[in-house]
Amino acid sequence: MADVSAMTQYEARLRSEELRSVINYHNRLYYELDRPEIPDPVYDELMNELRAIEGRFPELITPDSPTQRTGAAPLTTFDVVEHRVPLLSLSNCFTEAELQAWHRRAAERVGSDAFQITTEPKIDGLAIALVYEKGRFVQGATRGDGFRGENVTENLRTITTIPKTLTGEVPEQFEVRGEVYMSKSGFELMNAGIGEQNIERDRQGRRPLPLYANPRNAAAGSVRQKDPSVTAGRPLAMYIYQLGWCDGPRPDSHHETLQWLAAMGFAVNPEMRLHPGLEDVHKRIDWWGQQRERLDYDIDGVVLKLDDTREWDRLGYVGREPRWATAFKFPPQQRTTRLRKIEVNVGRTGVLTPFAVLEPVVVGGATVSMATLHNEGDIRRKDIREGDTVIVQRAGEVIPQVVGPVLSLRTGEEREWSMPAECPACGTAVSREESEAAYYCPNGSCPAQQIRMIEHFVSRGAMDIEGLGERMAYTLFDAGLATDVAAIYDLTADNLMALPGIKEKGAANLIRGIEASKQRPLPNVLFALGIRHVGFETARLLAEHLGSLEALLQVDAEKLQEIGGIGPVVAASIAGWAQRPENRDIVRRLVEHGVNPTQARAVSANGGPLEGLTVVVTGRLETMSRGEAEELIRAGGGKVGNAVTKGTSFLVVGADAGSKLVKAQQLGTRVLDEEAFRRLVAGGEESVEPPSSA
């Protein structure tokens, strides 16, 4: 967000005009077309900035400013319904301090801070008002702009959780309000169904039906269908959270009101809780922060209400928001920020991967200044440009990703990007193999590749050198002490003590770790060499065939292909590697140093970090192939699972993860991104708890 306090009035005028037009554009996409281009937290950010400007320069407020109304005017497709009592919105709190401030303000008006509070999950669906007369459902409407909504009665009749007739004694006429939503699983199934229809439509040469972006849009789109039979086929549900207006007496508390409505036949959320005070509310919010992924519907926060409804009138409203309620919003998993530039990372095998350098932004509670961009094709497809305002996403423990640019915020100064013609680390001309989408640096002595190579060589599953992690690998390379992997075995304690921060004990430990690594089994050593296409599983096959490290110097591509599980590409890669003089030199020096394992079978020294665990991999991984990830699991003593079940210990997710991630969230299975997974197999984390049965 721009620094509003430093703006001149002129700048503020320009910016507020721009924001109004952008917000109105997004309002139309969201409220009228159910086709938003930006995620809700990004929209909130734009609104907050406009509010901040209008707060500082009230003379700039215009009557048509989006801050002066909620939602959008109803669409003309449906009849208009005037709400007898307007449907308002809720203030938001993002921090504990804001929540306390809300509580303090309410306490001042109540005259005491000893009031009870209810909490309910804030479901991400659409607000609907239902009118009942003589116990029968007569009218249902969307919120619209709060005063006037759309009459969607016939569509709502198809939702089974909306009672058509009520039971027991009910007021003559009244209105209830609640949220119509679609479950996450229902949404997946529905989109899958549309996908199937599209295969058929494609065959018939018809246009594909659009897929919905998320359950909220799917719910809104489904409620506003012209044909109620289409709505009837959609998995919609509704929870009632409020009594709107009512002819006749009503209970004095919110929780009793909900119980009363439930007795009439309405569905009310069983997760509603009554709390003696704010401290108890904090606990519930923390609990929701951890548990919300387990729910089968999306929630974006927790709604707090004063339980005593007699206080509601006394407390009243600020603008369109009641003082007697507020919403605590979870930290957004998506934010926008500026993409400063796109840089390229050079991997161990020379593959070039672009990544985004961002203006730092807090996403899901962590500061993000870099995010993955996958590959050049992905950047093209999403039309991501340097200088763009981009949406950055972090879900669970997944590596931050750039979702895409916010096109409506383009200034025209953004720069299109393409892969550099030369390797950013060594300047060698970049190559691209026909069969592979990736670009790579063909220079085997490229310093970036060498550092990554050393990092790989010393890692768990490879030579597993204790005390030699990524940072140390870099330090050694930088100091000219580890020009290649074999040079690690030339290191002396004196060499190490000359490095900043390394004392006698540290040096002795490291030397001991290096000595111990000479005993690693052959598959680990072959894997450690980092030969392209040789993951742990291939290294195991190769070890059985070779029997010794020295035998690698005599390999022949044709013979290698006789090994089951090794095809022509892998065989050529191994033979090619073994022919290069610099590689032959490494093998010889390793053997001279006593790295000469004859043990052809992999053994885990102390059980391995994944001993007894079942791990499932899903999505597109950045720094390793699927096969390599699976080999790391096996090398760590774990089992590779195909599907997420109750017995899955954790799920490793890459980009564009789909149903497995959904399933893991439903089961509460732990989710790790690639980096966390690497740390775990490298022994950086003590243990992974088995899945709880809760």
Any idea which residues carry the catalytic annotation?
122
Among residues 381, 398, 391, 415, the alpha carbon closest in space to that of 36 is found at 391
CA–CA separation, 172 and 670 (whole Å): 51
Quote the least distance from Cβ 161 to ligand IVH, whole Å.
15
Binder among 122, 224, 634, 678 for ligand IVH (CB under 6 A): 122
DSSP code for 170: -
Q: For ligand IVH, which stretch binds (CB under 6 A), given 17-25, 117-125, 503-511, 634-642?
A: 117-125
CB neighbourhood size of 548 (10 A): 15
**DSSP of 553-616:** GG--HHHHTTSTT--HHHHHHHHHHHHSHHHHHHHHHHHHTT------S---TTS-TTTT-EEE
Q: For ligand IVH, which stretch binds (CB under 6 A), given 56-64, 83-91, 408-416, 627-635?
A: 83-91
Quote the least distance from Cβ 56 to ligand IVH, whole Å.
24
By C-beta, is 91 or 509 nearer to ligand IVH?
Answer: 91
Q: For ligand IVH, which stretch binds (CB under 6 A), given 105-113, 119-127, 204-212, 411-419?
A: 119-127
CB neighbourhood size of 519 (10 A): 13
Quote the least distance from Cβ 89 to ligand IVH, whole Å.
3
Total residues interacting with ligand IVH, rule: CB under 6 A: 13
Quote the least distance from Cβ 242 to ligand IVH, whole Å.
5
Residue type present at position 189: L
Task: Decide if residue 322 touches ligand IVH (CB under 6 A).
Answer: yes
By beta carbon distance, the residue nearest ligand IVH is 127
At residue 532, what are phi and psi to the nearest 5 degrees?
Answer: -55, 135
Going residue by residue from 232 to 251, which x/- string records binding to ligand IVH, judged by CB under 6 A?
A: ---------xx---------
Quote the least distance from Cβ 230 to ligand IVH, whole Å.
23
By C-beta, is 146 or 683 nearer to ligand IVH?
Answer: 146
**In whole angstroms, how large is the CA radius of gyration of the chain?**
31
Residues 143-182 contacting ligand IVH, CB under 6 A: 179
CA–CA separation, 73 and 80 (whole Å): 10
Binder among 123, 441, 621, 671 for ligand IVH (CB under 6 A): 123
By C-beta, is 90 or 496 nearer to ligand IVH?
Answer: 90
Name, in order, each residue with C-beta under 8 angstroms of 120's C-beta and a sequence gap of 6 or more. Answer: 241, 269, 271, 272, 273, 302, 303, 305
At residue 404, what are phi and psi to the nearest 5 degrees?
Answer: 165, 175
Going residue by residue from 284 to 303, which x/- string records binding to ligand IVH, judged by CB under 6 A?
A: -------------------x
617: helix, strand or coil: strand
Structure tokens at 625: 């192939």
Q: For ligand IVH, which stretch binds (CB under 6 A), given 39-47, 122-130, 150-158, 250-258?
A: 122-130
CB neighbourhood size of 199 (10 A): 9
Quote the least distance from Cβ 177 to ligand IVH, whole Å.
7
Q: For ligand IVH, which stretch binds (CB under 6 A), given 96-104, 120-128, 549-557, 581-589?
A: 120-128
Quote the least distance from Cβ 128 to ligand IVH, whole Å.
8
CA dihedral 144, 147, 152, 153 (to 10 degrees): 150
- Interface residues toward ligand IVH, by CB under 6 A: 88-90, 120, 122-123, 127, 179, 241-242, 303, 322, 325
